[in-house]
Amino acid sequence: MDEPLVLGIETSCDETGIGIVRGRTLLADAVASSVDEHARFGGVVPEVASRAHLEAMVPTLDRACETAGVRLQDVDAVAVTSGPGLAGALLVGVAAAKALAIGLGKPLHGVNHLAAHVAVDQLEHGPLPEPCLALLVSGGHSSLLRVDDVTAGVDPLGATIDDAAGEAFDKVARLLGLGFPGGPLVDSAAASGSSVAIDFPRGLTSRRDLERHRFDFSFSGLKTAVARWVEARERAGEPVPVGDVAASFQEAVCDVLVRKTLDAAATSGVEDLLIGGGVAANSRLRVMAVERAEKVGVRVRVPRPGLCTDNGAMVAALGAEAVRRGRAPSDLDLPADSSLPVTEVLT
């Protein structure tokens, strides 16, 4: 049987992503970002994002087809992020996918955004080990998952209980006057600083916290600690060492993420770890995860940075895997669900 040719649509936040894959081979990954329109607000504005998706959908679709060298009528299925994400933004993608599925007479597959971040690694490193652990870190999510079947068997082990890791990066970047989005800016600033200059707290790592939240994450207290440290320097009329603050903050985030993830690996006996989501592009997280994992016999897979951020390729990858495994397509009354749980991989 020929590998399925699948078109994927991603509009959960501020990137309009169209991906085209054949099986586990990436043919096109076209992205139109509205991040510049949100930068002056210091964060994503849902209405602005929705309107940007409407404007970008057709041009991005055309660009993806041209890059892949395929026609829309050639695809075997259409996949779309149906949640979680911003409600209005999701609606644009879901409506576009329904229109394409009806117009082309092709099956529609609604997929979970988080599971798609797991599936995208197959486009770079081949089939996922089953089972594996997945650490997904982004602006909206910090999730630790056990994945037995990327199209069905996703079991949440832990999640953020307040600020997600990416959200904390954005807020600290704003405190330091670095701009938006904060992740790459903090990563860049940290290169000139010392990761041990300031001993920032590691959230949910005390003995009592580990009893109740062993695999959960919290970065709100860390963000507050950074804010208080910076404010104290400013009140004293002393310069803020941006590089040191950025590096020490980044070290605290990565330390907690990696420490808890490897604890979960040891507890569950899983020897393969996948890291995905926008924060997976962070240089320190990638290095720390590999170094610590090698010491305990855990293999690490991380997609290249361009596949870590939101994109249509990840949606197409999960859609293709659903087709490959014979999963039933979605109904045409598929809703956009902004709070879709990760246990609902296909909708």
- Could you tell me the pLDDT band of residue 38, with boundaries at 50, 70 and 90? confident
Q: Measure the CA–CA gap between 267 and 151, rounded to whole angstroms.
A: 24
Structure confidence at residue 139 (pLDDT) = 80
Dihedral sign computed on CA atoms, order 52, 53, 54, 60: positive
Structure confidence at residue 40 (pLDDT) = 79
State phi, psi for 32 to the nearest 5 degrees. Answer: -120, 120
Q: Cβ(317)–Cβ(113) under 8 Å?
A: no
Please say if the pLDDT value at position 109 is more than 90: yes
> Could you give the C-alpha distances from 7 to 1, 70, 175, 333, in angstroms and in order?
18, 10, 40, 19
Type of residue numbered 296: V
- Could you tell me the pLDDT band of residue 131, with boundaries at 50, 70 and 90? very high
Structure confidence at residue 41 (pLDDT) = 80
Neighbours of 343 (CB within 10 A): 14
Structure confidence at residue 153 (pLDDT) = 82
Structure confidence at residue 198 (pLDDT) = 98
Is the whole-model pTM more than 0.85?
yes
- Mean pLDDT across the stretch 161-183? 94
Does residue 335 have a cis bond before it (omega within 30 degrees)?
no
**Residue 346 carries which DSSP code?**
B
Q: Measure the CA–CA gap between 150 and 153, rounded to whole angstroms.
A: 6
Please say if the pLDDT value at position 152 is more than 60: yes
Q: Cβ(223)–Cβ(210) under 8 Å?
A: no
> Could you give the C-alpha distances from 271 to 4, 53, 118, 170, 330, in angstroms and in order?
30, 39, 16, 32, 33
Are 5-120+311-324 and 129-303 in the same CATH fold?
yes
CATH number for the segment(s) 129-303: 3.30.420.40
Instruction: List the chain domain ranges.
Output: 5-120+311-324, 129-303
Whole-number average pLDDT of the chain: 95
Structure confidence at residue 138 (pLDDT) = 87
Structure confidence at residue 1 (pLDDT) = 52
Q: Measure the CA–CA gap between 154 and 343, rounded to whole angstroms.
A: 6
Residues 89-106 have pLDDT tens digits of 999 999 999 999 999 999
> How wide is the angle at C-alpha 168 spanned by C-alphas 165 and 172, nearest 5°?
145
Type of residue numbered 279: V
Closest CA to 315 of 74, 102, 16: 16
- Mean pLDDT across the stretch 68-84? 97
- Mean pLDDT across the stretch 259-278? 96
Q: Cβ(315)–Cβ(9) under 8 Å?
A: yes
Fold of 5-120+311-324: Nucleotidyltransferase; domain 5 (3.30.420)
Contacts of 239 (CB under 8 A, 6+ apart): 233
- Could you tell me the pLDDT band of residue 39, with boundaries at 50, 70 and 90? confident
Residues 210-240 have pLDDT tens digits of 999 999 999 999 999 999 999 999 999 999 9
Please say if the pLDDT value at position 43 is more than 80: no
Type of residue numbered 57: M
What percent of the chain shows pLDDT beyond 70? Answer: 100
Structure confidence at residue 34 (pLDDT) = 86
- Mean pLDDT across the stretch 322-339? 96
Find tokens 């240089």 and name the residue.
283
Q: Measure the CA–CA gap between 314 and 220, rounded to whole angstroms.
A: 29
Q: Starting from the edge strand earliest in sequence, which strands make up the sheet with 299-301, in order?
A: 153-159, 142-149, 132-137, 272-276, 299-301
Structure confidence at residue 288 (pLDDT) = 98
Find tokens 């890791």 and name the residue.
165
